[in-house]
Structure formats: structure tokens, C-alpha cells
Amino acid sequence: MSGVFSHDYNAFPFLVFSASHIAMIVLFAAAAALLFIFRKGLFRLDQKFRLYMFMLLFTLELLYHLWLYLGGDWDIAFTLPLQLCSISLVLCLVLLATKSSAVFQLVYYLGVTGALMAILTPELFLGFPHFRYFQFFITHNLIIWTSLYFVFVHQFRPTGKGMLHSFIFLNTSAGAAFFANKLTGGNYMFLSRKPENASLLDYFGPYPYYILTLEIASVFLFLLLLLPFKMIGKNKTGKAESA
């Protein structure tokens, strides 16, 4: 394969916070704002819009695996859906198809946390205009956009119970990833070693202590994601009592 579908990692280098990286961060923010602005119109187009998001996510992930396979790089050590964002992507597909409130809780806490970290500090080795660059950022953006779509358009709300279930699900998935790493020599959920590129894990201590730090950080981030909705709920209660 050649050109933007090649496996020549030297031809399309990726640099963190380069112009192409910042462009995708801006795209993420702009699309998130548009979801909020046009939320009422999107509600009327809900079935079609969810179908479009589903097909885009599914197609991009399918093309990624096809690209790896045709290039001879598909390897069970890193292509199973056991990374946090891969798990979140599958959950997004289920959410878009079912509108399940229970699945929304998982997508909101796990998907937003994992995808946001991936967007800001991506483990990416192919830059603009390579296929992998677009596939990586669009799929990770879509994970968060899906969550925001259900918050803005369907008025779904994260809950404390949902946060607890998400933390349990996260650790159950980590257990599966740990055993997969032992069997395949992989590094699913970065439980075997830190990413090769610079990331937030560089500040979390050496292996294996950074795994405990990750547990603490996940609870903190989950609480941050829940906080705005708790504050909104308190404000509404206060207004109702003063009325």
C-alpha cells in the first residue's frame, strides 16, 4: 500500500500539538458546540443522525483493521478491542443502536475520560494527511460526540450509581486486558508498560505503581464529569425552593 494508506511511518510523522493536532482539537470543540446549538433540530432527525454516526464509527474501525491486515500489521497483541477507547467505541455502537441509559453511563464516564486523554496526548505515529491520522481523531472525537449527543439531544444525565457501575466495569475490563497481555505479549490498557510516546502516564510514577495512580485518577476524573450535573441539580432545587 502506498500514499496516505502506506505503512511508511517516516513519511507522515506526527507531532503532538502541531498545527494538524490542534486542528483536530478545534474540530472536536466546534462540533461539540454545534451539537448543543442544533440539539432541537437533531432531535427531530434522531433516527437518521444516530444511523449516520453508527455507520461512520463502524466503517472507520473496519477500514482500520482492513488497513492493518493488508499491510501485514494486524496482530492479536494490539488489535483486540481491549483498549479503553476500543471498548468505548463498541459501547458507542451499542448506545447508538439501542439508546440504552445503562450503556450511556458507561460511555459517558469511560468514553469521555479515555477519548479525551487520547485526543490530548495521542499514541499516534502517523500524521496528516495519512488515513490513520483521520481515522484516529475522528473515531475518538465521535466517542465523545456520541456521549454529548445523548446529553444535549436526549437529555440523558450521568448519575452517581452510573459512576460506580462504570468504575466496576473499568476494573473488570482491566482484568480481562491483564490476562490478554499475558497471553499475547500485548499492552492493552497500558497495564504492561507505559506508551512509547509522551503521555500523562509519564507523571504517574514507574511501573507498576502508575496503575494504582491510574485508579485514583479515574475516580477523580469521573467525579469531575459528574460535578457539573450535580451543580445543575442543586441550582434547580434552590430556584424551586425560592419560587
How many other C-beta atoms are found inside a 10 Å radius of the C-beta of residue 207? 13
Q: Is the pTM of this model over 0.85?
A: yes
**H-helix or E-strand spanning residue 97:** helix 84-98
User: How many CA atoms lie within 13 Å of 242's alpha carbon, on the beta-carbon side?
Assistant: 6
7 and 13 in contact (C-beta within 8 Å)? no
What's the CA gap between 45 and 113, in Å, rounded?
Answer: 28
b/e sequence 14-48, b meaning 16+ C-beta within 10 Å: beeeeeebeebeeebeeebeebeeebeebeeeeee
CA nearest to 14, candidates 119, 130, 118 = 130
What does the pLDDT read at residue 235?
Answer: 59
Q: Which residues contact 222 (CB under 8 A, 6 or more apart)?
A: 109, 113, 163, 166, 167
b/e sequence 219-237, b meaning 16+ C-beta within 10 Å: eebbeebbeeeeeeeeeee
99 and 113 in contact (C-beta within 8 Å)? no
Query: Phi/psi at 21 (nearest 5 deg)?
Result: -70, -50
Tens digit of each residue's pLDDT, the chain (243 residues): 678 999 998 999 999 999 999 999 999 999 999 999 999 999 999 999 999 999 999 999 999 999 999 999 999 999 999 999 999 999 999 999 999 999 999 999 999 999 999 999 999 999 999 999 999 999 999 999 999 999 999 999 999 999 999 999 999 999 999 999 999 999 999 999 988 777 778 888 888 889 999 999 999 999 999 999 988 866 554 444 444
As a three-state string, the secondary structure of 173-201 is HHHHHHHHHHHHCCCHHHCCCCCCCCCHH
At 74, list the grid cell: 494486524
What's the CA gap between 226 and 83, in Å, rounded?
Answer: 23
Domain boundaries along the sequence of the chain: 3-238
169 and 91 in contact (C-beta within 8 Å)? no
At 8, list the grid cell: 511508511
CA nearest to 158, candidates 116, 114, 101, 117 = 101
